[in-house]
Amino acid sequence: MKKGYFLIVLMVLFSITGCKKNSDTVKLGFIGPLTGDYASYGVMMSDAVKIAVDEKNATGGIDGKKIVLIAEDSEGKIEKANNAIEKLSSIDKIYGLIGGVFSSESLAVAPRAQAEKILMCSPSATHKDLTSKGNFIFRNVLSDQLQAIVFAKYTKNILKLNKVAILYIKNDYSQGLADDFKNEFEKIGGSIVASESGLPQDKDFKTQLTKIKTSGAQALYIPNYVAEMAQILEQKTQLGLNMKVLSADGFSNPEIFELAGDNAVDVLFSNSTEDIAKDNAKDVFVKKYSDLYSIPPDAFSLNSYDIAVLMINAIENVYNQSSDSEKASLLLDREKIRSVFHATSDYQGVSGTISFLENGDASKNVGVFMSVKNGTQYEFKQIESYRITNNELEEIK
């Protein structure tokens, strides 16, 4: 009897201690590749989130309660992303998830986030179906469908190119962009003269490129991630393919210059328009990020920072409206947090002006960028910006 009583007391004490520990911190999660071929994407984005978390904690957190970021490494693999959301939802009890990084892992974890009422916002997952997974699922990035439609119209109507070849990778991101670009390009009178594919982490694309070389294509569209694009660009040069290269927002990672060097210059690609942030917010963030990590942030890192700030603000807003008992236990209303986050309108972030549409997509214009080399420095330069008005391409001056 005494032994049983002692065990009960221990369990009660453990329960009380555990509750107290949980009530001292507000947990956010991150899912993305932190190791492997695609690690640069996840590392850069999670580093941006860390800045937002550290800035908030430096001001006292939320009523003295510390913000904690729990970053899980997916390696870009669906099964590891599923393991990560299981841990973050069941054990860590996060209130918000920044990620996933890739469309495939985001599509995989979204149903669990929705079921557990975890506010989820991806800074980089562009698959058109993502936000249809539930009202807790958001993104602060262009959808594949929108950027592919705009870029197909730009290629045909502005660049005056009629014959394009596509080399895509068999994953949700790359194949989705390839399909949407092809559908729109052919719809407006263009011709896809070759459509070749590869597998994630492939290193040799010479067979596909040799077929493309004889296709009569005026341009090559490669809507992939940098690991594969670097190989494609190098092998394109080796095979003597002299055609314009087109890509999508996955090209915006500066690691492409480390991997491909001059082969990555003069590539045109689509991405969210770079708005001018008020009060020099972007310049301040870029300097802080560059000083901390010795590399400038990419567009997805800017998106990640803004998501983290907006999530923390939404949690704090609901916390301030909660009862004393809810504040003490940090049992906050997840529906209210989602509602506050969704109501974001014309927020001036480092990634530009942020508003969310009814379906959870960010309202974004589409920029056309070019990779350039100035002296010994590589950079991305926005050259134009567009939106779709009455199904027509409209330039934003």
Q: What is the DSSP track for 126-154?
A: --TTGGGG-TTEEESS--HHHHHHHHHHI
Mean pLDDT across 348-375: 92
Q: Do 285 and 245 share a domain, yes or no?
A: no
Q: Is residue 85 part of a domain?
A: yes
Q: Are 261 and 117 members of one domain?
A: no
State which H helix or E strand residue 354 sits in: strand 352-354
347 and 381 assigned to the same domain: no
Let me know whether 181 and 265 are in one domain.
yes
352: confidence class by pLDDT, cuts 50, 70, 90: confident
pLDDT of 277? 52
User: Is 60 exceeded by the pLDDT of residue 45?
Assistant: yes
* Number of independent structural domains in the chain: 2
In degrees and rounded to multiples of 5, residue 74 shows phi and psi of -90, -15
Residue 1's pLDDT band (boundaries 50, 70, 90)?
very low
| Domain assignment present for 49 | yes
Share of the chain above pLDDT 70, in %: 93
In the sheet where 66-73 sits, what is the strand order? 66-73, 25-32, 96-99, 119-122, 137-139
10 with 135, same domain: the answer is yes
Residue range 269-280, pLDDT digits in tens: 999 887 655 568
pLDDT digits (tens, 9 = 90+) for 320-346: 999 999 999 999 999 999 999 999 998
Residue 10 confidence (pLDDT) above 80? no
Mean pLDDT score, 205-229:
97
User: What's residue 276's pLDDT?
Assistant: 56
User: Which amino acid is residue 179, in one-letter code?
Assistant: D
Answer yes or no: is pLDDT of 140 > 60: yes
Spatial contact of 268 and 34, defined as CB atoms under 8 Å apart = no
Name the band, by pLDDT with cuts 50, 70 and 90, for residue 13.
Answer: very low
The verdict on residue 361 lying in a domain is no
**Domain membership of residue 184 as a residue range:** 145-274+366-395
- For residues 284 and 382, membership in a common domain is answered with no
Phi-psi region for residue 228, left (φ > 0), alpha (ψ -120 to 50) or beta? alpha
Question: Both 177 and 58 in a single domain?
Answer: no
Higher pLDDT, 246 or 13: 246
DSSP state of 359: T
| pTM exceeds 0.85 for this model | no
What average pLDDT does the chain have?
A: 92
Q: Find the mean pLDDT for residues 153-164.
A: 98
Q: Is residue 360, in this structure, part of any structural domain at all?
A: no
Q: Is the pLDDT of residue 200 over 60?
A: yes
Residue 150 and residue 138 share a domain: no
Mean pLDDT of 25-41: 96
Torsion-angle region of 76 (φ positive above 0: left; ψ -120 to 50: alpha; else: beta):
left
Q: Is residue 359, in this structure, part of any structural domain at all?
A: no
Say which CATH number the domain at 83 has: 3.40.50.2300
27 with 103, same domain? yes
Would you say residue 265 lies in a domain? yes
Whether residues 24 and 96 fall in one domain: yes
Rounded Cα–Cα distance for residues 230 and 149 (Å): 25
Mean pLDDT of 258-262: 96
90-121 pLDDT, tens digit each: 999 999 999 999 999 999 999 999 999 999 99
pLDDT at 198 over 80: yes
Indicate whether 167 belongs to any domain. yes
pLDDT confidence band for 305 (50 / 70 / 90): very high
Residue 388 pLDDT:
86
Domain assignment present for residue 325? The answer is: yes
Distance CA 289, CA 337 (A): 28
| 28-38: average pLDDT | 96
In a shared domain, residues 282 and 236 = no
Q: Are 250 and 207 found together in one domain?
A: yes
What per-residue confidence (pLDDT) applies to 279?
60
pLDDT digits (tens, 9 = 90+) for 56-90: 999 999 999 999 999 999 999 999 999 999 999 99
What mean pLDDT is predicted for residues 4-25?
Answer: 47
Quick one: pLDDT band at residue 389, thresholds 50, 70, 90? confident
Write down the pLDDT at residue 275: 65
The whole-number pLDDT of residue 137 equals 98
Q: How many other C-beta atoms are found inside a 10 Å radius of the C-beta of residue 170?
A: 12
